[in-house]
Structure 1
Amino acid sequence: MNAALKAQQRYRDDAILSAAPERLLTMLYDRLLLDIERGEAALRRGDWSESSTQLQHAQSIVAELNASLTDAWDGAGQLRAVYTFLTQTLIGANIGRDPERAHACLEIVAPLRVAWHTASESLVARRA
């Protein structure tokens, strides 16, 4: 890896390590949406290797989001059910090579991403 790429990677790593919890959550949702979009696109063009890579990464993010849920929050059970559905649907999209299943995940994740970004911005504004 050349020096410029190493510097970029270090910058990304430092940004993640120093991010506030609400920022980490929005970063995960941003990447989740990107992975699903890329996975769907790869499925549509028949690139099974790339679609598998993207959809498996999306599954890993959903697993991390699920693991981070705390039962102290009243909505945790419902969100956990959404994460379970996403995991099952992402697996099905990957195994079945089904772009429509991947797209169904996009339709769930996109509004959740917006909601978490809005909540994060609200929290930051209250701190200011």
Structure 2
Amino acid sequence: MNNSAVAYNAYKNNSINYASKEQLLLMLVDGAVRYVKQGKDAIINKDMGKAHIALIKCQDIFSELMISLDTSNNQWADNLYKVYAFIKEKLVEANLKKNIDVIDDIMPLIEEIRNTWHAAYKASIGSR
């Protein structure tokens, strides 16, 4: 590994280790969008191994988002959990079938979740 790669990995690890909960959430939703796009591109390019890895990473992100929610006595969190579970189910389907149509169906939802969390974060910073 060259020096710039080592420096980049150190920077990346530090940014994760010292990020706030809100920043970590934003990193996760950004990653979900990136990995679902990578999965779609890999299917288009007939690289099923790469597609599988990318879609599994996206599934893992939604699993993490699901377990991070406190759904006890919280209708909003319970509803969000159901949305995350639906997306994860569709990601599994897309991965098993390597079906771009399924990805195209859920991509706008994943992007909207990312956009919503980014907007909420910006609003919370503005109110401080």
TM-score interval, smaller chain: over 0.9
Structure 2 equivalent of residue 105 of structure 1: 106
User: What is aligned with 2:38?
Assistant: 38
**Structure 1 position 77 matched with structure 2 position 78:** yes
* Counterpart secondary structure, 1:46: coil
- Three-state SS of the structure 1 residue aligned to 2:127 is helix
Q: 2:67 matched to which residue of 1?
A: 67
Q: Is the 8 A contact 1:42 1:50 kept in 2?
A: yes
Structure 2: which amino acid aligns with 1:100?
D
Determine the C-alpha separation between the residues in 1 that align with 2:54 and 2:65: 17
- Tell me the distance in 1 between the aligned counterparts of 2:75 and 2:10: 37
Can you list the C-alpha shifts for 1:31-86, whole angstroms capped at 9, x where unaligned? Answer: 10000011011112211011001000001111111110112543111111111111
Q: 2:7, 2:102 → 1: CA distance?
A: 37
Q: Does the alignment pair 1:13 with 2:43?
A: no
Contact residue 36 and residue 105 of structure 1 kept, 8 A: no
Residues 43-62 of structure 1: pairs in structure 2 closer than 5 A:
43-62=43-62
Higher relative contact order, chain-length normalized (CA < 8 Å, sep 6+): 1
TM-score (norm 2): 0.93
Letter in 2 for 1:39: G
SS in 1 for 2:50: helix
Contact 1:93 1:99 in 2 (8 A): yes
Give TM-score scaled by structure 1 length. Answer: 0.93
CA RMSD of the aligned region, Å?
Answer: 1.2
Q: Given residue 37 of structure 1, which amino acid in structure 2 is its aligned partner?
A: K
Query: Matches of 1:19 and 1:125 in 2, distance apart?
Result: 18
Provide the C-alpha distance between the structure 2 equivalents of 1:112 and 1:6, rounded to a whole number of angstroms: 32
Runs of 4+ in 1 over 4 A off after TM superposition: none
One-letter amino acid of the counterpart of residue 80, structure 2: L
